């Protein structure tokens, strides 16, 4: 049986992250959405996403195959019960929530409209839960860390070096190759997961729930509060609370990061801090890119920062900031709350070739290079802008 994670219905609710990747690639806890479904289903899952992104995901043989496949909504949160319902679907059946939201379809169809809207006999599932938008990711984050930990905890953890100060060691899991010395690890408030070949340096203090991805590094004397995920190949320093670094990004120096989601291949310069609560302690207004409006998102909110974006040293990031894709941000004082795709400084106009060269420079620092598929995605997004001006 082929299983396919589909994210086409709600992509605009997850800007800026869904501009450059499928929702299935979003890491929330130990696993990405795709990896979490694979843990539950115990089978590989392909990705069906927007046409301009599909080349990023080579496992697309299901497009050519006429065999039946089960298509699954990427925003649905898996658990044993909903997975059992999905696996038991017969060809020509679809599963929907009691509110009418699509969960899954078993079909030979390959057009999304037919998968989602075809008049298959619907089966209602009462307890379906969904990640509704980008803001909802932080709400689900602690739950999914605990959920993911139940999978890895079935395996045997590597030993924790005796130089560390550890609380609730049963809630700590360390993958092979990880290095942790002279750190403070408190898992009494939630599990702590340390990925393969990751490193926690001396003096770091970590309170769970916490996830450190493969080959990620926590620098000396860093303070991290739950719920926080530092994704693979990331660099973490300073003070971090209730945040997600999706992967390959750096917050390597002193400064505060709170209640925020940072995309892939981002960098926060030394001394950069973000605000997550207003001086008045009032409601935070944040830009909704899909709706093109400012809307209230609660009392605490840091920022959403798209892939390939960077802040210069000593940047002061406003409460409830929205940062688009491939932005190179610098400026005096408190920065604007809305920084769109391809921002240069604090205005639009990052030239495409310059942006690609700069991204590639950053990727080389971690031993990678920008791919032809990534360039195609960024070129598509750059052309969507109404105008481009040179501002550097």
Condensed to tens digits (0 to 9), the pLDDT of residues 165-221 reads 999 999 999 999 999 999 999 999 999 999 999 999 999 999 999 999 999 999 999
pLDDT tier at 377, thresholds 50, 70, 90: very high
Same domain membership, residue 245 and residue 374: yes
Pick the last residue of a domain from 86, 111, 132. Answer: 132
Confidence at residue 390, expressed as pLDDT on a 0 to 100 scale: 37
* Residue 81 located in a structural domain: yes
Q: Can you give the pLDDT at residue 61?
A: 65
Tokens 């920065």 sit on residue:
335
The residue segments making up the domain with residue 47 are: 2-132
Distance between start and end Cα atoms, the chain? 52
Residues 99 and 26 in one domain: yes
> Is the residue at 390 inside a domain?
no
Q: What is the pLDDT of residue 60?
A: 60
Please tell me whether residues 77 and 224 are part of one structural domain: no
Bridge partners, 295 (sequence order):
286
In a domain, 240, yes or no: yes
CA max distance for the chain: 62
Assigned domain for 177 exists: yes
Q: Quote the CA–CA distance of 240 and 257 in Å, as a whole number.
A: 5
Whole-angstrom distance, CA of residue 382 vs CA of residue 379: 5
Structure tokens given for 313:
């040293």
Q: Residue 377: inside a domain, yes or no?
A: yes
- The pLDDT of residue 63 is above 80: no
**Same domain flag for 96 and 211:** no
389 domain-assigned: no
Q: Do 213 and 248 belong together in one domain? A: yes
Clarify whether residues 212 and 87 are in a common domain.
Answer: no
117: left (phi over 0), alpha (psi -120 to 50) or beta: alpha
Q: How far apart are CA 199 and CA 328, in angstroms?
A: 28
Report the C-alpha gap between 252 and 249 in whole angstroms: 9
- How distant, in Å, are the alpha carbons of 167, 217, 232 from that of 190? 11, 20, 20
186 lies in the same domain as 80: no
Q: Looking at the domain assignment, is residue 351 inside a domain?
A: yes
3-state secondary structure of 93: strand
Rounded to an integer, the average pLDDT of 7-15 is 93
User: Are residue 232 and residue 354 in the same domain, yes or no?
Assistant: yes
Per residue in 241-297, pLDDT (tens digit) is 999 999 999 999 999 999 999 999 999 999 999 999 999 999 999 999 999 999 999
Final residue in a domain of this structure, among 132, 167, 185:
132
Domain match, 343 and 303 both: yes
Instruction: Examine the domain organization and report whether 299 and 342 are in the same domain.
Output: yes
Which residues are CB-contacts of 78 (< 8 A; sequence separation ≥ 6)?
A: 36, 37, 40
Angstrom distance (rounded) from CA 174 to CA 146: 15
- The structure tokens listed for 189 are 């408030």
Q: How far apart are CA 27 and CA 170, in angstroms?
A: 24
What would the 3-class secondary structure string for 74-125 be? CCECCCHHHHHHHHCCCCCEEEEECCCCEEEEEECCCCHHHHHHCCCCEEEE
Q: Which residue among 98, 132, 166 closes a domain?
A: 132
| Contact partners, residue 194, CB within 8 Å, separation at least 6 | 172, 173, 174, 175, 178, 180, 200, 212
Residues 105, 93 contacting (CB under 8 angstroms): yes
Residue 391 falls within a domain, yes or no?
A: no
Write out pLDDT tens, residues 140-155: 999 999 999 999 998 9
Q: What is the pLDDT of residue 113?
A: 85
Residue 147: closest CA among 294, 273, 274, 28: 28
| pLDDT at 388 exceeding the cut of 70 | no
Give the model's pLDDT for residue 392: 32
DSSP SS3 for 187: coil
Domain CATH number, residue 241:
2.160.10.10
pLDDT at res. 126: 87
Same domain, 275 and 305: yes
Question: In this structure, what DSSP letter does residue 130 have?
Answer: B
Beta-carbon contacts of residue 232 (< 8 Å; ≥ 6 apart): 195, 213, 214, 215, 216, 247, 248
Residue whose structure tokens are 């130990």: 30
- CA-CA-CA-CA torsion sign (356, 322, 138, 104): negative
At residue 324, does pLDDT exceed 60?
yes
On whether the CB atoms of residues 257 and 241 are closer than 8 A, the answer is yes
> Whole-model pTM?
0.94
Burial of 345 (0-12, 13-18, 19+ CB in 10 A): middle
Q: How many domains does the chain have?
A: 2
Cβ–Cβ under 8 Å, residues 257 and 268: yes
Cα separation of 115 and 117, whole Å?
Answer: 6
Q: Do 127 and 161 sit in the same domain of this protein?
A: no
């Amino acid at each position: 049986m082929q299983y396919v994670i589909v994210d086409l219905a709600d992509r605009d609710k997850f800007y800026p992250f869904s501009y450059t990747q499928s929702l299935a690639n979003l890491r929330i806890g130990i696993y990405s959405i795709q990896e979490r479904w694979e843990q539950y289903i115990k089978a590989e899952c392909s990705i069906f996403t927007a046409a301009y992104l599909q080349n990023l995901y080579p496992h697309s043989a299901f497009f050519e195959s006429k065999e039946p496949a089960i298509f699954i909504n990427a925003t649905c949160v898996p658990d044993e019960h909903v997975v059992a319902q999905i696996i038991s679907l017969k060809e020509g059946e679809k599963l929907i929530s009691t509110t009418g939201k699509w969960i899954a379809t078993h079909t030979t169809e390959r057009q999304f409209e037919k998968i989602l809207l075809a008049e298959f006999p619907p089966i209602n599932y009462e307890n379906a839960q969904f990640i509704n938008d980008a803001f909802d990711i932080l709400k689900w984050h602690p739950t999914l860390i605990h959920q993911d930990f139940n999978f890895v905890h079935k395996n045997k953890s590597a030993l924790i070096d005796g130089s560390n100060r550890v609380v609730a060691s049963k809630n700590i899991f360390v993958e092979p190759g990880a290095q942790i010395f002279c750190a403070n690890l408190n898992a009494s408030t939630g599990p702590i997961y340390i990925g393969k070949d990751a490193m926690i340096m001396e003096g770091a203090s970590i309170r769970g729930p916490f996830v450190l991805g493969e080959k990620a590094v926590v620098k000396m004397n860093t303070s991290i509060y739950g719920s926080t995920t530092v994704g693979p190949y990331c660099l973490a320093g300073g003070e971090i609370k209730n945040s997600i670094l999706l992967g390959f990004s750096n917050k390597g120096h002193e400064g505060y990061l709170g209640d925020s989601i940072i995309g892939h291949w981002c960098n926060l310069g030394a001394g950069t801090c973000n605000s997550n609560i207003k001086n008045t302690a009032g409601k935070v207004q944040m830009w909704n890119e899909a709706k093109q409006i400012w809307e209230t998102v609660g009392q605490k909110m840091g920022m959403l920062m798209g892939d390939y974006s960077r802040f210069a040293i000593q940047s002061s990031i406003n409460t409830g900031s929205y940062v688009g894709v491939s932005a190179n941000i610098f400026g005096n004082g408190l920065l604007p709350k809305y920084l769109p795709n391809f921002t240069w400084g604090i205005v639009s106009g990052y030239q495409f070739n310059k942006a690609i060269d700069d991204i590639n420079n950053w990727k080389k620092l971690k031993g990678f290079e920008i791919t032809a598929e990534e360039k195609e995605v960024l070129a598509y997004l750059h052309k969507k802008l109404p105008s481009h001006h040179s501002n550097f």
